[in-house]
Structure 1
Amino acid sequence: MPTILITGTNRGIGLELVRQYAADGWQVIACCRNPDTASELKQVQGIVDIHALDVTSDADITRLAGELAGKPIDVLLNNAGITAKNDSFGSTDTETWLRVFHVNCIAPLHLVEALVDNLAAGTQKKAISISTRMGSMGESPSGSYYAYRSSKAALNMAMVNAAADLRGRLILAMIHPGWVQTDMGGTQAPLRPQESVAGIRRVIAGLKPVDSGQFFNHDGSSIPW
């Protein structure tokens, strides 16, 4: 039975990831900040182990690693992410920017560091981070979303470096989920969470060691840095 650990599982893409992996017989370690209020997550059928985790808390990450000590994990999926409101030129806020950076860039790397032995003991040995093509400088950025765009560009760089450090030990990759109908994406987005997650899962399943450090779209195509 393969095991996957997913962050940010109380809603949106994260919740749908839990549903689909659990339905396929995976053991899912579902992490979210407030399990007590995650009513939809608690209703997911299958082998779902829910853990409280604030990804910005080093103490929480250390505690989680202790709880999972010695447990093989096949896939770590860094899904938790946030954006900033009113984040256009002339209205950026330092405190907000730093929090977005912490959630979107620093926390995913800290989780890879904390769980590297669990992943190395797994069969698939994959650490995946949900990124966005909005963080690509090769796709002609269109302005605004300063905190979100820069945090995801930094996430990509952090994980590319981790892929180099862990070459031969783990496979790391970044995946753009598409523009999805979630609280963050809005109702006007073209993709339903079910479609996005199905694509994400296909990409993850197909990853090979040669793909480590690469940036993929949910349809499997490559995205420029």
Structure 2
Amino acid sequence: MTVPSSIGNFLPDTAAWAFFFDLDGTLAPLAERPDQVRVPDTVLASLTHLQRAAGGALAVISGRPLETLDQLLQPLVLPLGAEHGAIIRNAEGRIQAPANPADAVRDLAAWLASRLDGQPGVLLERKSFGVAVHYRLAPQAKGAVQALMASALARFPQFELLPGKMVIEAKLPSVDKGRALLRLMQESPFAGRKPLMVGDDTTDEAAFRQANEMNGSSVKIGPGPSCAALRLDEQGDLEGWLGRFRDQTPYGV
């Protein structure tokens, strides 16, 4: 891990780069509950412009389920890496996903739910390919949640733990955002471009590394060490940076 440089005047050429964004804490401000998150209309407008300017080479890679991402990004319909890339939807709308471990996810979710019952402020989020436990409403429960998830991993070893901002997820070990970025970069309209990944959390580090290794770049939002090359100070700064693309190229491209 290093200290990323300030983003400064960096503004990649939309004809030569592909753009990848995390959602929570990146395109949208964090909220106390996952269901309270909203992508600002101004950010959606800037994404619409950037997608057109980049010839469609823009995707969102997030821990959120695919259906939730579509709801948060509407009216945009984008290529997606959902659930950290367990589900990939390419630019043509084709969906790729591993064999569904439905029984294991159901059993893990039920086991966690039985032990989280009565824990105020700790939220269980069920996904198709994993489970997330959020404690943003109960930061004092961090240690208890960490211990519980370690116990869950011992009982359900087919999963691995992925800590984030006030959340710990149990996911498939073959899934991460770096692999999602790589898979999308192998197809049109991303292929042949340089990737840029923008994110804010430890869950984005794999995608930062992948973008860097492909002669692209990466942007970490917020403080702290990261393998990202560049930094934006806070989530609200992204809107201004995206607006620079609208200044650079006409809206009608």
- TM-score, normalised via structure 1 length: 0.42
Structure number with higher relative contact order (C-alpha < 8 Å, ≥ 6 residues apart): 2
- TM-score, normalised via structure 2 length: 0.39
